[in-house]
Amino acid sequence: MSTENGSYEKETFQLELKSKKECVSCAEPIVHKYDDNKVCVTDKVGYPVLENRSPLDLVLHSGEGYISLWGKNVTLRWKFDEESLRYFKKPDEVKDYIRALLGEALLKWGDASPVKFNENPNVWDFKIRVESVEICSVVGCTLSRAFFPNPGRNELVLFPTMFEQNRKEQVDTMIHELGHIFELRHFFADLKEKAWHSVIYGVHKPSPL
């Protein structure tokens, strides 16, 4: 249920799939996850033991040996992947719910957000894709997947399991993914993700954990 200002207050959101008769084809599943029982596919690995690394240090992605942060005053245009939404009974409700989640996550970033976002179905930099199939393994289930800054057309992928979490975790997941889109890597990238270049801004100090 939406409130007068159009925001959603549900703790969880049920994605109702069409029946096989209503939808004869199936989407190829994609993957992501984070925190206690979830793995972030954006950076491929989970949390290692901290070795004199502070989670407060900024770890930035540097794809080809350089840092490709978004330029000043950049607006990222996005749209929904309509193909992915046709598997759901109420695609417009799904859209409204995700818009509210994205808006809430962006408000949490506040002035720290280096770019602006604008929904534009005609000219776009990334699509929001909603998968109809969950991706789970013995270590947990994927919630979402993002991308790092680049000149290509990208996807922010959301999986059904994310919508089963409480509202705070859904927003936290979106905040986490936006961090990757803003160019941030996991704080342990230089330890466990050496296959992908990263640069650390900050002074490493012994972790209090």
Assess whether pLDDT exceeds 50 at residue 201. yes
pLDDT, tens digit (0-9, with 9 covering 90-100), for 47-87: 344 455 555 566 665 555 445 568 888 899 999 999 999 99
pLDDT, tens digit (0-9, with 9 covering 90-100), for 161-198: 999 999 999 999 999 999 999 988 877 777 777 777 77
Percentage with pLDDT > 90 across the chain: 44
Selection from 18, 146, 38, 21 nearest residue 86 by Cα: 18
80: tokens are: 């929904």
For the segment(s) 69-182, the CATH number from 3.30.1360.180, 3.20.20.60, 3.40.390.10, 3.40.50.1100 is 3.40.390.10
Task: Name the pTM for this structure.
Answer: 0.69
168: DSSP letter: H
SS3 of residue 199 by DSSP: strand
pLDDT, tens digit (0-9, with 9 covering 90-100), for 1-28: 445 555 556 677 777 777 766 654 443 3
CA–CA gap between residue 180 and residue 80 (Å, rounded) = 19
- For 63: left if phi > 0, alpha if psi spans -120 to 50, otherwise beta; the answer is alpha
